Structures are given as C-alpha cells and as structure tokens.
Structure 1
Amino acid sequence: MITEVRKFIAAHEQEMVSLLQKLVEINSYTGNKSGVDAVATVIQQECESIGLHVRREARTEVGDNLVIETQLHKDGVKGLLMCGHMDTVFPPELGFNSFTQDATNFYGPGVADMKCGLVVGIYLLKALDALGLLQNMSIAFICNSDEETGSTHSAELILQEAENSFAGFVLESTKEGGELVIGRKGRMTFELEVTGKAGHAGNVGAHKASAILEIAHQIQAYEALNDIEQGTSVNVGTVEGGVGANTVAEKARAIVEFRYSKKECGDNVWKAVQELAAKPFTEGTTCSVKTMTARPPMVTNDAILGLYDMVKEVGTKHGYDIQCAHCGGGSDANIISQTGIPVIDGIGPLGGKLHSVEEFLVSATIPERAVLATLVVAKAWEQYCCSK
C-alpha cells in the first residue's frame, strides 16, 4: 500500500500546491464571512468531485461549517473523524494576502495554520478513493469556520461527530520538531469590567473610587495566580479605561486569558477570579467578569497514548520518525477529547511563525505528511472500526 500511496501523492503534488495557493489567496479571517465561505465552496467542490457527500452547516455570524462524509458515514455507520479549520487570524486590511515561495518554504496567511492541513485532508481522501478503499470506510471530515476564536459556532457540531466516531485526527500543522500533539492546555478568555465613581482629579479625597485603580489591583492579583509548575498561566492582554488625566475613571475594562493543563487547575483559577470580582480592593467600585471563549484541556490519557502508539508503529514501518509533544495552544482536538475518544493532533505538514506575517510552511513536508496521514487513517480504520 505504501508504494501506491506514494505514487498517488507524487503524481498529484503540484495539484496540492495549486490548491494550497488558491486557498491561501482567499482571505478567510474569522470575521470575514464571505471569505471563509469562499474557502468552503472551493473545498466543497473538490470533495464532491470524487463523489463525497458535503453537508454545509449555515452560520450567520461566521462562515459556514462543512461536514464531508463518505457514504457509509452518511448511512449512519460509526467511523473516524478528521478535523481542520478554514479561518485565519489575518484581517484583510493587514495586507498580508499573497502566496510566495523560495527553495524550501511556502509563505502566506494561513499557509501552515492551517490551509496545508485542509489540503492534506482532501488528498488523503482522494488517495483512499483511488486505492478503492474509501467506499468501504466511514469517515467524516469537519472543516470549521471559527477555530481561531474558540470554535464557538462549531463546537457542538464537532462534539456530535466525535460522539459518532471511534477515533479522531486534527490536521493542524505539526510541531516545530515534527512531533505529533498528544496533549493541549485548556483556555478561557474573560472580560473584567470595573465601575467606579467619576470625579474631578483635583478635588477628590483620600478614598477616590477610581475604576483604573481597582483594575490595577485586580491585575496584580491575577498575576499571582500564575503557577508554572502546575502548567497554569494567566495573562492580561488588553486594558482600557478613563477619559482624561484630570478625571477619576468611572469605567475600566480588561481582557484576560488563562491556560491550564488540568481541569481542576482551570476551575480553581476561575473561582479565584470570581471571588476577586466579588470583593473589590477599592471602596466604591464594583467588578464583574464574564466568559468570552472557553476550551477545555486535551488531557493525555491511555486512549490517546494507544492511538499515538499505532501512529508511531505505522511511521516506523514506513520510514517515518514519529515523536510526540504537549502544546500550550488549544485546538479542536481539545473539544474532541471531551467525548473520551482518542485523538491525535498536529498530523499536518511542518510550518512555523504562526499568527505572524512571517508564517511559513516547509514545502517538502506536504507530500510526506499526506502519505503518512493516508497510511495512518487506513490503519486506524482497520484497528478501531473494522472489529466493532
């Protein structure tokens, strides 16, 4: 099988690059619904061209989500889940909108995070179809539209499909050393709003109810919640408030995020944040906190390690050096893992400098990872699904 898969991917490598370029040159910033929908349309056409069913889940606030499925999956047969996202972090006005290349790399918005993974997923399915295997497999491939902002409009869909699957694969780009991801931190972003009492800065007494003063106290308390040994990090990303230097601030606001390796650690931080809000440091002020986005941790367990062992076995058999790593960033693998099925992330090509205008993809890893992913999915079907 390895020979046939390699032949297929080699014969279609330039097609893969052309498709990657086409996707990268469509701006699909999460807030650009028309752009994300345009990416969805390209992917839909590619998959329907080989007879796959594409279920398009309409969304109003963000781009539509896609569920690409084989006939067996459409018929209700439990199988495998693949997942990737179509959105990027680059708004159109940033001006980072071209696809370029040099001798070793491709460059462009989302080239590694994660339009390369979408291309690998599409050609993985095409390779299995060319080998005559796909018709006897139940596979769902979700391409969602809002992963970069927490998958708020796609998490329910991902959970539904995960619950109807034996194992999952997220096609995010691999870690910098080529490692697969077997664990990710959970993440919550929340808003802190402080209300004080406005006044003339020259006439206030000793106990001014300044919203900015209170938010400074809250921020210091948040920083004390950092616990590197436990894998917990807290960061205040933005702060705003007040109207001028001569006015005591009536309003102040901060956007904060924290990340955590274990559920109980995340619960403890959120409890502490709420307790701090309930008891302000500054007399005459009030605080409120509300969740903006949340993603649970992908906790490494025996099921995930078992799937990783299978992937490593496939890699070793066919000459791929497979290693694993944990990651501080979140992905849709965090959501999938909540159902208890094993999931591996980072099975896409190798890239770097994600979320920056220097984002790149190592070009040689596109065919390498496409071959590996195809072999892995075929083996996972055999090991996790055929005996069920």
Structure 2
Amino acid sequence: MRFGKLAALGFAAWLLSTPAFADEQVKPILDSAEKLKPDAIKFWEQLVSIDSGTGDAQGINAVGAIAAEELKKLGASVDLVPNEHALAGDNIVATFTGTGQGKILLMAHMDTVFAKGSVAKRPFRIEGGRAYGPGVSDDKAGVVIGLTTLKILKELNFKDYARVTLLLNTNEETGSRGSRTLIERLAKEHDVTLNLEGGRAGDGITIWRKGSGTIKVEVKGRASHAGASPELGRNAVMELAHQVLQLSKLADETKGTTVNFTVVKGGDRKNVIPDYAEADADVRAVVSEEFDRVEHDLAATIKNKLIADTEVKATLTRTFPVMPQNAQIDALATMAQRIYGELGKTLALGGSGGAADSSLAAGVFKPTLDGLSMIGANPHTDREYAVVDSMVPRLYLLTRMVMELGRKP
C-alpha cells in the first residue's frame, strides 16, 4: 500500500469497504487481552513509578530500558536513537517484520510534565476503577497499550503485515524538538500512523488537533533602590505585567486561538526595582494562518509600552503544526468506529487543543489517527487519571486496526 496524494481517495475507499469480523474472530483477541491485563497493569505501575519528566535522562532511560527489554522478548529489532539537540534520553524504535504488505507506525512518549520527586508524593494507585499517578494517562498508558497490543499479535501468531514499528519518544511534552526528524522520517516510511495518546472522555478518539507555539516576552529596565529612589528606576516587572495583559488579547475565541501566559519571572530582591523580567505564553490555533496573524500582531502590540525607557522584545516559536481533519483521518476514524462496534460499543470522535506527535506524522501527509490509548482525563495535573476498564476494549481496537491495516487490500 502506498498512500501518496493520488492514493488518498483509494485508501479511504478501501478502509470503508472492509467488512466487520465475525463473532468467532472477535473472541480470541478479547481472550488474549483479558489474559494479559493483570501483567499489563503491573507493567503500567512499574512505568508510572519512575519519574521521567522531559529532560530527566536517568528517568527516561530507565523507562526505556524496561520497555526495550520487553520488546526484545517479543522478537523486536530495538534501536536506541539519541535526540538531535542533546536533549535527555534515548528514543526507542522497535521494529517487527511480517509477511503482509501494510506498514504501521505506533507512537507513544515516555516523558511527562512532572518534576523529579512527583512519584514519591503521588505513587501509582487504583481507586474507584481509575488509576492515578504522574503521567498515568499521558502517556505511560500509551506505552502499555502499544506494547501489550504487540504481545497480543504475537500470542495470536499474527504476522500479516510488512512492518509494525513502535516509537517511544523522549520529549513530546516540550514539542519533540529533538525527535521531530525521527518522527517525520518514520511516518514517511510507514503507510499509517496510530498515536497512543489518551482516549477522550466519553470513550472517544482524536481526529484533529490544534497547533502549538510559545511566546517569549523579555523586558529590560533599570535598577534602583525601591525605597530611596524608585523614580530613578524603570520597573521591568510592571512593564511585563502591562505586556502580559495586552498580549493576552491576541487570542481569538471565535477562531479557537488561545494565548495563555503560564510562566512569569522577575525580580530577586524586594527592595530593588527590577531591571529584567520575562514571561512565556502558550499559544494554540486551529489553523496555521492564525500563527502568522499572532506573530504579526505581536510585533505591533509590544510597541505600546506603559513605562518609558524600557526595552521590550517578544518572539513566537512554533512547536507542533496543526493536525487538520481530512478524508484520510475520517476514513481511519470510520474504521475504528466499526471495529469498536464489534464489541457493541460506540466510539466518539472529537478534537483537542492539546498538541501531539500525531501532528508531525499528519504534517508529512500520512494517514494519522490519535487518542487510541485508554480513556483518561485531567492530564498535566495532580488529578490525572485513566479508566482501568477501558484497557481491554482499547487493546482490542488497536489490535484489530493493526490487523486490518497490515493485510493486503
């Protein structure tokens, strides 16, 4: 199967024409998933119990070592791929070769947003049918679902695919800056990319994502004594506060564009007028043109200053591109809904303001689907959880998708 621009409609038509499994074909996959569930939960706990925030080389490599060992047991060819920009930790690329024609890329990430020591404060636990812990849904669950799916395929002796590759990324939470070339290369080498971010609340998957970027604002002022001669200073913090308020208005609710300041730094002594301050804003947009508009308006807006003789600089750095909904994604989503229907379940479709590696795969014009891991909620907070009972249905969904995408159309 080759999915260039000319093949897009043929790909969609083939997906939509594939018949559902018979009941007797469903049972072996479900039985295998149920059998592997207890060990999968233990593996999940093992991963969540390791602090692996982006940049924590020790933690990320510890997670990677555990995953790599399991993948080698399954017969994978495992490569450790360093990040391009010397960011901490090695990416894991595990490859399985079969006898079919389809090439499928599975992706998950090993890093979290949480600082070292978070696991000690909030260890893995299951309570009320939900699993809790740092990165339990985003994205340690994705690693578990990807690896366990490969175990199911091995148990069923299914090899009707040309290649199945599992990529475990080390720095997705900071824009995959050190892994972007690797992700794009692998996506181009495969026919389809299935990203294992958390399933959406309401038992859904993700068919579009906003793009992301960061605004960095820096203000230079002049220091002076805060009590004896404040009038001689130029308060960088006050000017930064002014800039934060007016730059926040670059958001456009009607277009789905958000600008949220999340990090602010300035001053280090309470009796000194600060001469430097900086802030970072998270920017999200549904369409790429909005980043152009924000960048243009950014330069004009900062000229309006509150405090004279301060120097203001602002830059926009783009991280993940937009993952737009298209015919290929719609066809994959329809396939996923049909497969989920074999379990008597309904799979909801939706989009996300959160950016992810799926945007990079979609950005090289490859069919891409996201949100295929367990159902989760509240990522990036101490309230993050994943629904334990969603494990088996999601294992069935991913296993069946690999089976259908791997065989010859």
- Distance across 2 between alignment mates of 1:246 and 1:102: 49
TM-fit CA distance, 1:358: 2.8
Deviation at 1:33, TM superposition (A): 0.9
Q: C-alpha displacement at 1:238, in angstroms?
A: 2.4
In structure 2, give the amino acid aligned to 1:183.
W
Stretch moving more, 30-39 or 92-101 = 92-101
1:13 corresponds to 2:42: no
Alignment-derived partner of residue 290 in structure 2:
265
Write the distance in 1 (CA, Å) between the matches of 2:384 and 2:294.
Answer: 33
Cα 1:272/1:23, change in 2 over 3 Å: same
RMSD: 2.3
Residue equivalent to 1:54:
78
What is the CA-CA distance between 1:47 and the residue it aligns to? Answer: 0.8
Correspondences of 1:36-185 after superposition (within 5 Å):
36-59=60-83, 60-71=86-97, 79-94=103-118, 95-134=120-159, 136-185=161-210
Q: Measure the CA separation in 2 of the matches of 1:90 and 1:154.
A: 20
1:132-188 per-position Cα deviation (integer Å, ceiling 9, x unaligned) = 223643111110111112211111111111111221111111111111001111111
**Counterpart position of 1:29:** 53
* Counterpart contact for 1:96–1:357, Cα < 8 Å: no
Q: Which residue of 1 aligns with 2:328?
A: 303
In 2 relative to 1, CA 260–33 (structure 1 residues): closer, same or farther, beyond 3 Å? same
Q: For structure 1, list consecutive stretches of 5 or more residues without a partner in the other structure.
A: none
Amino acid at match of 1:317: E
Residue-pair matches, total: 380
Offset at 1:39? 0.7
Pair 1:317 & 2:355 matched: no
Deviations 1:268-298 (A, max 9, x none): 1122223334665543222223456611111
Q: Which residue of 1 aligns with 2:368?
A: 343
| Aligned twin of 2:13 | none
Q: Partner amino acid for 1:88?
A: T
Q: Which amino acid aligns with 2:149?
A: L
Match for 1:180: what amino acid?
I
What SS class does the counterpart of residue 91 from structure 1 fall into?
coil
Specify the code of the residue in structure 1 equivalent to 2:97.
Answer: Q
**Aligned equivalent of 1:216:** 241
Contact 1:90 1:96 survives alignment (8 Å):
no
Identity of aligned residues (%): 28
Larger displacement relative to structure 2 (12-21 or 92-101): 92-101
- Asked whether the equivalents of residues 113 and 173 of structure 2 are also in contact (C-alpha less than 8 Å), the reply is yes
Structure-1-length-normalised TM-score:
0.91
Q: Report SS of the residue matched to 1:153.
A: coil
Q: Residue 245 of structure 1: CA displacement? A: 5.8
- Length-normalised TM-score, structure 2: 0.86
Q: 2:214 aligns with which of 177, 181, 189?
A: 189
| Structure 2 CA distance for partners of 1:86 and 1:289, relative to 1, 3 Å | same
Aligned position for 1:352:
377
Residue identity in the other structure for 1:81: L
- The aligned amino acid for 2:295 is W
Q: Is the 8 A contact 1:349 1:366 kept in 2?
A: yes
1:69–1:138 contact (8 Å) kept in structure 2? yes
- Between the aligned partners of 2:46 and 2:140, the Cα distance in structure 1 is 10
TM-aligned CA deviation for residue 103 of structure 1: 4.6
Partner-residue secondary structure (3-state), 2:328: helix
Distance between the aligned counterparts of 2:245 and 2:116, measured in 1? 36
Please state how far the C-alpha of 1:196 moved relative to its aligned partner: 2.0
Q: Which runs of 5+ in 2 are unaligned?
A: 1-24
Contact 2:199–2:372 (Cα < 8 Å) also in 1: yes
